Chain A
Amino acid sequence: DGGITQSPKYLFRKEGQNVTLSCEQNLNHDAMYWYRQDPGQGLRLIYYSQIVNDFQKGDIAEGYSVSREKKESFPLTVTSAQKNPTAFYLCASRGSRSGELFFGEGSRLTVL
């Protein structure tokens, strides 16, 4: 089945550690996105990529990094510089400028 796969679904990390969240899509979409969602809040854009080897900062990029070496993959690294990393992270992709976003099931990160 075509879709977006995020892993891991749940992740625990100690303060001061970097962690990488995986996002893979087999929809052949050019654009990919990372959002963060806190309890009772909407989605805030972290990074997005319109094409391989290119990406742009969203509204809350500080403390995060991404790469886009392959069309199918857009991993997100939550670095130790991110002051409040505990959140629900959502990855999405889009096939065209007029198309909708397809979301993964999310990764819930908890910093202990």
Chain B
Amino acid sequence: SQKIEQNSEALNIQEGKTATLTCNYTNYSPAYLQWYRQDPGRGPVFLLLIRENEKEKRKERLKVTFDTTLKQSLFHITASQPADSATYLCALDEMDDDKIIFGKGTRLHILP
């Protein structure tokens, strides 16, 4: 069966360090992989999208990698700040239709 797994439910990182979150998938052939940020009680907000033929994408302090051989994406936040504390969700977009499936998310806590 199809599955998306994000490496941990919660992650504590010291302020200023790099936070790395993992998204693994099985039995998918995604055209795109997306990362979203969700604050408590709010709708998710889009951060980055990476295509299957791209290895890496950057936006300010954010970096996403996509390895279709390993079936894995890594999401990095460099020089982390307490304001980066939130839940981060990865989402897969299947090749043959508009169906978009989410992982369970990782709650990131940046400790001052």
* CB atoms of B44 and A50 under 8 A apart: no
Segment at the interface with A among B11-19, B59-67, B78-86, B95-103:
B95-103
Count of interface residues, chain B, beta-carbon cutoff 8 Å? 26
17 A-B residue pairs with Cβ-Cβ distance under 8 Å, sorted by A, are A33-B100, A35-B102, A40-B9, A42-B102, A43-B89, A44-B102, A45-B101, A58-B99, A88-B41, A92-B43, A94-B100, A97-B98, A98-B32, A98-B49, A101-B44, A101-B100, A103-B45
Does B76 interact with chain A (Cβ within 8 Å)?
Answer: no
CA gap between A101 and B105 in the complex, in Å: 16
Chain A proximity mask over B26-57: 1 for CB below 8 Å, otherwise 0: 00000110101000011111100101000000
* CB atoms of B98 and A106 under 8 A apart: no
Closest to B95 in A: A97
Does B104 interact with chain A (Cβ within 8 Å)?
Answer: yes
Chain B proximity mask over A85-112: 1 for CB below 8 Å, otherwise 0: 0001010101001111111111000000
CA gap between A94 and B91 in the complex, in Å: 14
Q: How large is the interface on A (under 10, 10 to 19, 20 to 34, 35 or more residues)?
A: 20 to 34
Closest to B48 in A: A100
* CB atoms of B42 and A105 under 8 A apart: yes
List 11 additional contacts besides A90-B43, A106-B43; criterion CB under 8 Å. Answer: A42-B89, A44-B102, A45-B102, A48-B99, A56-B99, A98-B49, A100-B49, A101-B36, A105-B42, A105-B43, A106-B41
* CB atoms of B46 and A100 under 8 A apart: yes
Does A66 interact with chain B (Cβ within 8 Å)?
Answer: no
Does A21 interact with chain B (Cβ within 8 Å)?
Answer: no
Chain B proximity mask over A33-73: 1 for CB below 8 Å, otherwise 0: 10100001111110010100000101100000000000000
Q: Which residues of A contact B49 (CB under 8 A)?
A: 98-100
